[in-house]
Structure 1
Amino acid sequence: MTHEHDHDCGCGIDDGRRRFLGGCGAAIAFAAAGTTVGSVAAETSGDIETLFADLPTNWDRWGDDDELGALNLLGSEEMFAGMRAATKRGAKRIERFSLQLSMTGEVINPDPDQPEVVFPNGAVDWPSTDTGDPAFPPRTPARRTNTTPTGGSPLAGGMAFVDDKFVTSAFLQGTTHLDALGHAWYGDEIYNGYPASSTEETKTFETTLLGTDGRDALPDNGDPEELVPVSETQGLGKAAVSAPAESGLFGRAVLLDVGRHLDVADENDRLPLGYGITIDDLQATAEAQGTDIRERDLLVIRTGAVERTRDPGAEWAPLNEPGIVFSEELVEWVAELDIPYIGADNLAVEKVVQVIDGDTYVIPLHGAFLRNLGVYLNEILWLEDLAAACAEDGIYEFLLTGAPLNVERASGAPINPVAVKATER
């Protein structure tokens, strides 16, 4: 199978693809709500089960009850390889970089005439040069406020404190986050053959709390939501984010700065909107950098996409970002190298809409990696500072460590990966 390398592809998603990925609710809901981003005239939709029929899986590799997936590959030797990469220039030449994007609560709105509207109705003129927090529609940025009185809350003895909480919906995948293996699937099974129904298991709580109703950023009826009692919730009974949260992420990682090493990039080393990154692009970048990709390495891919959301002079479109694209060769390469994790500075790691052999697919690599191989995807990374340091000293390997928030039964959770890198500076 080959990918149709169409860099001018739009990114609307029609409602006829509901069966494609059971976990692709955000994209489908965004389309069903009548909001479009660009246009993808999707007259045909491919069969993903046929597409993946002859490709490798890791089901039962670590037992039929495994929920951790490819992070099982990160043991003592892999952790040591990460530490060696971080310390290879000695004790006084080590730098650290947080790869988490800050949360500002600012909405990126494509319609400057309707700044108060989250998702303007009708035709929307993407891309946008507005700045704010990137979020996969219909997720929205989270906002917090103080819960203590003005001046803080005084305590006996003279101490005072201030406290805060989120006062809008805080989507667990609305900022830098790690996808759980049960986040996306096709057919009737998620990772390791667990039934898709396990993603909607109900938990009942002894104590009722007040919360807001509604599944997405906007209520179904368009009216403000009222507080409602919450005594039960639905969530992942298997392959939830608690598994990687409890194990943590720790190993040798390599940055593939595709934006800096492909001649299609702009003057800021950012790939153009809609660009599909092929396995040839990844391997050519590694060769240009002099980077050795080893078995069980963690892959971090820079496109420059998220940087656009903080630059008022750059255009950005949420469903038309550059990203990696499916090919049999790519999936087999990741499987053969036992890559347990792929992170990128965009919303989906992969290009959201892809045309493969003339058929249209939405986030197919989520099926190949999360569901079939148990390979984790880390989205919305901030890579500008790390990439600049790597380009300056030529060292593209580092220790990568972090753990997502341990939110029981969640399909993903915020994570702050930290790169610890040797340097010549």
Structure 2
Amino acid sequence: MAIDFDKAAERLRNWGRWGEDDQRGTINHVGPEALKRAAAEVVSGKLISLGLEFSQDGPQIPEITKRPNPQLLASDLDQIFNPANPRSRFNDDVIVMPLQSATQWDALSHVHYDGEMYNGCKASECLTARGTKKNGVHHLGSPGIMSRGVLLDIARLHGVDELPADHKISPDELNRACEKFGVTVEAGDIVVVRTGHLRTFTVRKDKTKVAGFQAGLGAECAEWLYDKSAAAVAADNIAVEFLGMESLTQEVVLPFHMLAIRDMGMPLGELFDLEALSQDCAADGRYSFLLSAPPLKVTGAFGSPINPIVLK
């Protein structure tokens, strides 16, 4: 049964919950208890990166995503510090890239509907060609995003490497994953969902399907995350949510995005590389960990590149 979007939005809306001027949303769930719980997960000394490389041969196809891959340019090569002593040299570079070209957070200004962003900010008053006046990603960067992460490996739950493109993940599957993998999502946790979709790029080296129809969270999962008081959600696909014809053609396009970001104030982490983490969790049976993923404090930006780090 399809979600009643407007009723769900009204129930999930966190506007004013943390004050009229709040620009951090559900990251406010990460308090001292959540941080101490995250730190207690570190017992074996294992470090795992969940970030893609910011490569000129990355997963983006600009004609589809409107986001080119990063372009690295050398600004100085083999430059001499002091002509009188030419032995010492230096090299510098610059990078030109969309802030959301690889592994990244969506800020609370990334999407909106009915002319309003999170916490009632008027889009017409906040959005400018130089960024947003409110809900910029820099607010998520102070002091950052770190908490206990919980991996819900939905692909492994179904015994496959990768969910089919038409698979819309339900709240029931999230509950079943919690039971199977022995975890409980608590207030302030970051929920990490594996679909296997990114394998199309990281394993099969085929970027043509990265931005196509793909498995992901159904809109109903926003209610599940709200009831769990999760701080954020991340996944190994391009939008966290299920991408099919219906999600792009209904009255509210990308309904999970709108409920999570605009109404709940929940950042979305996209294109997380979860293959190494999935294998490690399956090997040691531990599906919770410390997750550190602070965004760059780019003032007024709609998102930020990250290199998320898991410590177990």
| TM-score of the two chains, using structure 1 as the length reference | 0.67
Select the structure with the greater relative contact order (CA < 8 A; seq sep ≥ 6): 2
Larger radius of gyration: 1
1:260 and 2:260 correspond: no
- Call closer, same or farther: CA 1:84–1:317 in 2, change over 3 Å: closer
1:155 and 2:81 correspond: yes
Q: State the AA in 1 paired with 2:17.
A: R
SS in 1 for 2:147: strand
2: CA distance, partners of 1:360 / 1:107? 32
2: CA distance, partners of 1:78 / 1:153? 48
Could you report, residue by residue, the CA deviation over 1:145-168 in whole angstroms, capped at 9, with x for unpaired residues?
Answer: 32223xx112234221111122xx
Whether the 8 Å CA contact 2:150–2:287 is kept in 1: the answer is: yes
Misfit runs of 4+, over 6 Å: none
Q: How does 1:113-124 map to 2 (within 5 A)?
A: 119=63
2: CA distance, partners of 1:384 / 1:145? 30
Equivalent in the alignment of 1:21: none
1:410 and 2:301 correspond: yes
SS in 2 for 1:245: coil
Could you report, residue by residue, the CA deviation over 1:106-126 in whole angstroms, capped at 9, with x for unpaired residues?
Answer: 26699xxxxxxx63xxxxxxx
Which consecutive unaligned segments of at least 5 residues does structure 1 have? 4-46, 88-92, 111-117, 120-135, 202-232
Q: How does 1:386-405 map to 2 (within 5 A)?
A: 386-405=277-296
Structure 1 position 275, deviation (Å)? 1.9
Equivalent in the alignment of 1:333: 224
Whether the 8 Å CA contact 1:62–1:69 is kept in 2: the answer is: yes
Q: State the AA in 1 paired with 2:171.
A: I
2: CA distance, partners of 1:244 / 1:301? 21
Q: How does 1:277-296 map to 2 (within 5 A)?
A: 277-296=169-188
- Call closer, same or farther: CA 1:310–1:331 in 2, change over 3 Å: closer
Over aligned residue pairs, what C-alpha RMSD do you find?
Answer: 2.3
1: CA distance, partners of 2:26 / 2:74? 40
2: CA distance, partners of 1:249 / 1:109? 25
1: CA distance, partners of 2:225 / 2:231? 8
Could you report, residue by residue, the CA deviation over 1:352-373 in whole angstroms, capped at 9, with x for unpaired residues?
Answer: 34638x9565311111111111
1:318 and 2:274 correspond: no
Q: Percent identity?
A: 31
Equivalent in the alignment of 2:57: 106
Equivalent in the alignment of 2:138: 242
Structure with greater helix percent: 2
Q: State the AA in 2 paired with 1:235.
A: G
Whether the 8 Å CA contact 1:252–1:400 is kept in 2: the answer is: yes
Equivalent in the alignment of 1:80: 36
2: CA distance, partners of 1:109 / 1:418? 22
1:137 to 65, 76, 93: 65
Whether the 8 Å CA contact 1:354–1:361 is kept in 2: the answer is: no
1: CA distance, partners of 2:278 / 2:230? 21
Q: How does 1:50-89 map to 2 (within 5 A)?
A: 50=6, 52=8, 54-87=10-43
Equivalent in the alignment of 2:114: 187
Equivalent in the alignment of 2:93: 164
| TM-score of the two chains, using structure 2 as the length reference | 0.90
1: CA distance, partners of 2:293 / 2:179? 28
- Call closer, same or farther: CA 1:68–1:391 in 2, change over 3 Å: same
- Call closer, same or farther: CA 1:198–1:180 in 2, change over 3 Å: farther
1: CA distance, partners of 2:104 / 2:172? 27
Could you report, residue by residue, the CA deviation over 1:218-276 in whole angstroms, capped at 9, with x for unpaired residues?
Answer: xxxxxxxxxxxxxxx4311111101001121121111011111114x3xxx11122321
Whether the 8 Å CA contact 1:353–1:361 is kept in 2: the answer is: no
